[in-house]
Amino acid sequence: MNSTAGTSAVRPAVMAAPTNVLIVGVGGQGVIMVSKILARLSQLQGLQVKQSEVHGMAKRGGSVFSHIRFGNEVWSPTIPMGEADVVLGLEWAEGLRWLRYLKPGVGTFISDTKRIVPPFSCRDRQHDARHGYANHSVAEIVNQVPSAFAPDATGMATQLGNERVANTILLGILSTVMDFPVESWREVLPEFVPPKTVETNLKAFEAGREWTTKPHAPDLNETSVVQHAMPTSRREVNLEITEAWCKSCDICVKMCPERCLALDDHQIVELVKPEACTGCRVCEWLCPDFAIAVHVSSVPIVANQAGVSTEVSA
Amino acid sequence: MSEMAAPLTPAQKSTDQFEIRDYLRLDLFPHFLCPGCGHGIALRALLWAIHDLDIEKDQLAVVSGIGCSGRLSAYIDANTFHTTHGRPLAFATGLKLARPDLHVIVITGDGDCLAIGGNHLIHAARRNLDITCIMLNNEVYGMTGGQVSPTTSLDRFTTTTPLGNQEPGFDACALATGAGATFVGREVTLQTTALKILMQEGIVHRGFSFVEVISDCTEIYGRKNDLGSSPEMVLSQKRSVLPKFDGSAVDKPFRAGNWDTGVLLRKERPEYYEAYRAHCHRVLGDGKSK
């Protein structure tokens, strides 16, 4: 503890039950950092804190969550379903995935509207693949949860010059719904962020607080998943095979990740599964005889042809 | 007297689509290499690097020696020079000193560069003239019928080692490092994009750059040693490399199947042509430096 312990005189109202905050996101977004800040803050207020997390998903895209419970006396480190006072989502689908942990009708839902589409949700391996990302619009969610904040924190952070301070913007919003004195937040924050980014982070914190003071109608156009799932163009791949140059070495057939090439009766390579070809160019790069050329072009597609995403798996 | 070629900037552009036929002498195709020979992949990587560096064909000179690798220069539509066995670096040195405005790239093989041309390699590296030496290492003299080469791994069979090779091989990168090269790198052909980037960095580097390409000789070496078909050979090469970043080339003894790849050495030392001209200028004064 450092000098900030002096602020512990200001204590939140005596809480019979612990306050439950669930922080969720994907690897690399700072879920753990945010929960450390909150935990330290609670300690400085003289409260008991228990924190439990699943981490190790540092590879971007892995799901990460952190339960924080603080109060005069805390026993279990995990939050039961439907008991979270606050769900803080650093990523939209993760926020939605954990929404059912929120205390119905009472809890506060805070989530970035930034969408990080995990590769494994893609339906096929083509470019612009259809994917199974959450197709709920922001308005739909915000209207269902009485107390919901859904800023485009990543966009705001980019404007501040560092995309990575999106988590601090959300912390700023969180600070408006918690009882802790705002000075404590400003004191604790620099302890956990890299020294070079303290200034940007403090700015981001204020930006988050400021965001809550203005009324916000969710911007449907900006965050519509449906738009995201419907590309306006499609990649068309053509393989040009110079048969006279092919020497049947088999490298392209064995290396093709989609297994769409084969040798024909004359031991010359041919494209047997054109629909599976993604145009990755591995065959072109590895053909020692320059017999394969991959031509990729962009073809516009008409609306409604692309698949519509299905709902998020919860 | 021509001016030194302007320093290249590492290419900002990185294309994944380029028309390789613009850089080939199409009347010579299909080329003479055996099915599955890694040299073809290395040639693509080189042409790709040249394309991304925006080097004009007129500003490019490719010098090669004798052997399978030596034939590659003939397929490149630029100034090419097919020289005597082991001497491409000697020819390239003369060429670069006479025409410093050219980007001189040497394509050589393991036998060409390390056995017959071993002396030329160490002295070219010592001088640090701005040449890029691309050594295609397939561990064997392929064109002459599969004789043992200075990089043949232990216990491998060749026509001259019917009981298995017992000579320890050269670590070409360590040799070039020891001789004073200022850029040394190694890559396998399967990593075509990494190989292209490595070659690009080697060409951009001001000074003697040495790039070793682990290539495969399926027909003559692979078959005799039961190393499998060409896809199996390139995959096993990929499995036996240890990627490195700007480390030291000589901190690990060379063993077959344990190659360090990537940029192994990058350092600054006066480039020979510039240092030589500056010296002449100092000694002879203005206007007489020729």
Quote the mean pLDDT of chain A. 82
pLDDT at A59: 61
Which pLDDT band, with edges at 50, 70 and 90, does B253 fall under? very low
Mean local confidence (pLDDT), B27-34? 92
Distance (Å, whole) CA A111 – CA A93: 9
CB contact under 8 A, B30 and A296: no
Quick one: pLDDT at residue A299?
Answer: 81
Residues B39, B64: Cα–Cα separation, whole Å: 13
Does A291 have pLDDT greater than 50?
A: yes
Q: Are strands B79-82 and B147-148 parallel, antiparallel or unpaired?
A: unpaired
B122 CA to chain A: closest CA distance, Å?
30
User: Contact at 8 Å (CB) between A178 and A92?
Assistant: no
Q: Which residue has the tokens 């790039």?
A: B211
Distance CA B227, CA B221 (A): 8
- Average pLDDT score over residue span A195-215: 89
- Of B83, B79, B89, B11, nearest to B51 by C-alpha is B11
Cα(A168)–Cα(A207) distance, integer angstroms: 9
Give the CATH number for residue B265: 3.40.50.970
Share of chain B above pLDDT 70, in %: 90
B234 contact residues in A (CB cutoff 8 A): 251, 286
Distance (Å, rounded) from C-alpha A95 to C-alpha B122? 62
Question: In chain A, what residues touch B20 (CB-CB under 8 Å)?
Answer: 290, 293
Contacts of A159 (CB under 8 A, 6+ apart): none
Instruction: Give the pLDDT score at B95.
Output: 95
Q: Is pLDDT above 70 for B37?
A: yes
Q: What is the CATH number of domain A3-229?
A: 3.40.920.10
Q: How many helices (H) and strands (E) does chain B have?
A: 9, 10
pLDDT, position B181: 95
**What's this model's pTM, rounded to 2 decimal places?**
0.70
Where are the CATH 3.30.70.20 domain residues in chain A? 233-300
Is B286's pLDDT higher than 80?
Answer: no
- Residue B3 in this model has a pLDDT that exceeds 80: no
Query: Where does CATH 3.40.920.10 sit in chain A?
Result: 3-229
What is the architecture of the domain spanning A233-300? 2-Layer Sandwich (3.30)
Q: How many residues does chain A have?
A: 314
Shortest Cα distance, chain A CAs vs residue B108, angstroms: 17
Residue A312 in this model has a pLDDT that exceeds 60? no
Bigger pLDDT: A294 vs A10: A294
- Highest average pLDDT, of A141-150, A304-313, B190-199, comes from B190-199
Q: What is the ipTM of this complex?
A: 0.88
Give me the residue from A285, A289, A294 closest to B192, CB to CB: A285
**pLDDT at residue number B244:** 66
Residues of chain B in contact with residue A295, where contact means CB-CB under 8 angstroms, are 17
Strands A19-26 and A63-71, bridge-based pairing: antiparallel
**Strand extents, DSSP E, A12-90:** 19-26, 48-54, 63-71, 86-89
Residue listed under structure tokens 């070079």: A196
Mean of pLDDT values over B135-151 = 93
Distance, in Å, from the CA atom of B287 to the CA atom of A123, rounded to the nearest integer, reads: 71
In-domain check, residue B89 = yes
Residues B213-234: pLDDT tens digits?
999 999 999 999 988 889 999 8
Span A82-136, pLDDT tens digits: 999 999 999 988 899 899 999 988 899 999 988 888 777 777 777 667 777 887 8
A266 touches B: beta carbon within 8 Å: no
Name the strand (E) or helix (H) holding B96.
Answer: helix B88-98
Contact B231 A288 (CB under 8 A): no
**B237 touches A at CB < 8 Å:** no
- Predicted confidence at residue B248, as pLDDT, reads 43
Residue B255: is its pLDDT beyond 60?
A: no
Token representation of residue B15: 């294309």
Lowest mean pLDDT among A209-218, B36-45, B85-94: A209-218
Q: Rg of chain B's alpha carbons, rounded to an integer?
A: 18
* Predicted local distance difference test score (pLDDT) of residue A219: 53
B50-81 core/surface letters (b: 16 or more CB in 10 A; e: else): bbbbebeeebbbbbbbbbbbbbbbebbebbbb
Axis crossing angle, helix A31-44 with helix A182-192, rounded to the nearest 10: 130
For the cut 70, the answer to whether the pLDDT of residue A170 exceeds it is yes
In total, how many domains does chain B have?
Answer: 1
Which residues in chain B touch residue A293, judged by CB atoms under 8 angstroms apart? Answer: 19-20
* Contact list, A290 vs chain B (CB under 8 Å): 20-21, 24, 29, 40, 44
| Sign of the torsion angle spanned by Cα atoms B79, B83, B86, B90 | negative
CB A309 within 8 A of CB A133: yes
In this complex, do A247 and B17 lie within 8 Å of one another by their Cβ atoms?
no
State the pLDDT at residue A228: 46
Residue B142 near chain A (CB below 8 Å)? no
- The β-bridge relationship of strands B60-64 and A292-300 is unpaired
Of A249, A285, A290, the CB nearest to B35: A249
Does some domain include residue B174? Answer: yes
Q: Residue B133's closest CA among B246, B230, B210, B73? A: B210
The DSSP bridge partners found for residue A110 are: A88, A149
Q: Average pLDDT of B129-137?
A: 95
Give residue B237's pLDDT. 85
Q: A300 φ, ψ to 5°? A: -65, 145
β-bridge mates for residue A64, sequence order = A25
Range of the structural domain that residue B109 is part of:
21-284
Mutation to test the A interface, candidates B189, B230, B236, most A Cβ within 10 Å = B230
For residue A221, what pLDDT band results from cuts at 50, 70 and 90? very low
For the record, the structure tokens of B175 come out as 């040799």
pLDDT at position A35 over 70: yes
Chain A residues whose CB is inside 8 A of the B41 CB are 285-288
- A22 has pLDDT over 90: yes
Name every chain B residue with its beta carbon within 8 A of the beta carbon of A261.
Answer: none
Expressed in angstroms, the distance from the first to the final Cα of chain B is 7
C-alpha to C-alpha distances, A34 to A25, A223, A250, nearest whole angstrom: 11, 24, 52
pLDDT surpasses 60 at A311: no
Of A289, A295, A242, A297, nearest to A270 by C-alpha is A242
Distance of residue B14 Cα from the nearest chain A Cα, in angstroms: 14
- Closest Cα in chain B to A251: B231
| A9 token code pair | 């005189």
Q: Which amino acid is at A204?
A: A
Chain A residues whose beta carbon lies within 8 Å of the beta carbon of residue B19: 293
Contact B81, B47 (CB under 8 A): no
DSSP class of residue B285 equals -
DSSP A275: G
Q: Is B17 on the interface with A (CB under 8 A)?
A: yes
Look at A285 and B229 and tell me if their CB atoms are within 8 Å. Answer: no
pLDDT at B10 over 80: no
Give the relative orientation of helices A182-192 and A166-177 as an angle to the nearest 10 degrees: 150
Distance from CA of A71 to the nearest CA of B (A): 50
pLDDT given at position A234: 75
Measured CA distances, A42 to A84, A87, A88, B79 (Å): 16, 17, 17, 73
Q: pLDDT band at residue A243, thresholds of 50, 70 and 90?
A: very high
pLDDT exceeds cutoff 50 at A314 = no
pLDDT band at B85 (very low <50, low <70, confident <90, very high): very high
Q: Which residue of B has its CA nearest to A282?
A: B192
Per the listing, tokens 């609670």 go with: A42
C-alpha distances out from residue B277 to A1, A88, B128, B281, Å: 66, 67, 14, 6
How does residue A165 score in pLDDT terms, banded at 50, 70 and 90?
A: very high
pLDDT (mean) for B8-14: 66
Separation of CA B99 from chain center: 20
